[in-house]
């Protein structure tokens, strides 16, 4: 009996290792970070890592979040863009147009009021409204995806009451345009810091006259 119990303990430990991790949740805000779980993600992660795309995506996503607001909010039961939302989307469009090699996604969310089916459709309508506005500001349609993060299932503030903070869309880096990522070969800094390089300008040619002038400090 004792030998049976000793043999059972390792088996139970192995099974417990396979059990779902209670800390592995799917209620985080979409676009907050690249997902590290889920079927097929290990293979995808390897492909992105070895092609140099994963680091580029993480860096671009971080820079996007640091450069412009990534979130807009909506009135209750509405997918209409108000003036503050349009101003934020204008900033997003300016950023996105600088990176024609990159695809972006807009994730739609709702608060917890209403049925899950209705909120799913409402979240998608919000994402589609944001995408349509970005397209109207000169972003190519093919580089944008309107997605819904399960409608009501990823609240920022967990409340059953109407909550504007939860009624939102989040824009984030989705990947690279077909063929663009493969050409990076690890040299994604040229894309990420393109505007920094351009801001350096053309070096001024120093002539004898300018050198003489520069040497006379009044």
Residue range 62-117, pLDDT digits in tens? 889 999 999 999 999 999 999 999 999 999 999 999 988 899 999 999 999 999 99
Q: Which residue has the higher pLDDT, 110 or 183?
A: 110
Give the count of beta carbons closer than 10 Å to the beta carbon of residue 101.
Answer: 17
Across the chain, how many H-helices and E-strands are there?
8, 4
67-71, 128-132, 202-206: least confidently modelled range: 202-206
Q: Give the pLDDT band (50/70/90) at residue 174.
A: confident
Q: Give the pLDDT band (50/70/90) at residue 119.
A: very high
For position 58, what pLDDT does the model report? 79
The residue length of the chain stands at 218
- Coil, strand or helix: which one is 171? strand
Q: Give the pLDDT band (50/70/90) at residue 134.
A: very high
CA distance linking residue 50 with residue 42, whole number of Å: 12
Q: Which residue has the higher pLDDT, 123 or 40?
A: 123
- Mean pLDDT of the 3-13 span: 48
For position 59, what pLDDT does the model report? 80
CATH topology of domain 69-180: 60s Ribosomal Protein L30; Chain: A; (3.30.1330)
CA distance linking residue 124 with residue 180, whole number of Å: 28
**Closest of 116, 94, 115, 114 to residue 104, by C-alpha:** 94
Q: Which residue has the higher pLDDT, 23 or 85?
A: 85
49-58, 129-138, 201-210: least confidently modelled range: 201-210
Q: Which residue has the higher pLDDT, 170 or 5?
A: 170
For position 152, what pLDDT does the model report? 85
- Contact status, residue 130 vs residue 74, Cβ threshold 8 Å: no
Q: What does the CA dihedral 95, 69, 181, 53 come to, rounded to 10 degrees?
A: 140
Would you kindly state where each structural domain of the chain is located, as residue ranges? Answer: 69-180
Residue range 28-66, pLDDT digits in tens? 555 555 444 444 455 554 555 455 555 677 788 888 999
Q: Which residue has the higher pLDDT, 142 or 40?
A: 142
Position 192 pLDDT exceeds 60: no
- Mean pLDDT of the 115-135 span: 95
**Closest of 126, 95, 121, 91 to residue 108, by C-alpha:** 126
């Amino acid at each position: 009996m004792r030998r049976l119990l000793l043999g059972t303990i390792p088996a139970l430990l192995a099974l417990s290792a396979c059990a779902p991790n209670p800390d592995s949740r799917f209620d985080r805000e979409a676009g907050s970070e690249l997902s590290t779980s889920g079927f097929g993600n290990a293979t995808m992660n390897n492909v992105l890592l070895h092609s140099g795309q994963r680091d580029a995506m993480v860096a671009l996503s971080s820079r996007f979040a640091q450069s412009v607001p990534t979130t807009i909010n909506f009135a209750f039961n509405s997918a209409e863009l108000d003036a503050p939302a349009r101003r934020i989307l204008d900033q997003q469009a300016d950023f996105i147009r600088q990176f024609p090699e990159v695809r972006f996604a807009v994730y739609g969310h709702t608060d917890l009021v209403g049925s899950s089916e209705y909120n799913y459709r409402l979240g998608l309508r919000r994402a589609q409204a944001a995408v349509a506005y970005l397209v109207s500001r000169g972003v190519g349609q093919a580089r944008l995806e309107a997605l819904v993060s399960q409608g009501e299932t990823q609240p920022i503030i967990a409340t059953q009451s109407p909550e504007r903070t939860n009624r939102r869309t989040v824009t984030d880096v989705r990947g690279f345009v077909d063929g663009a990522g493969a050409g990076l070969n690890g040299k994604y800094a040229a894309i990420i810091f393109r505007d920094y390089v351009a801001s350096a300008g053309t070096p001024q040619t120093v002539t004898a006259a300018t050198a003489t002038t520069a040497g006379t400090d009044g």
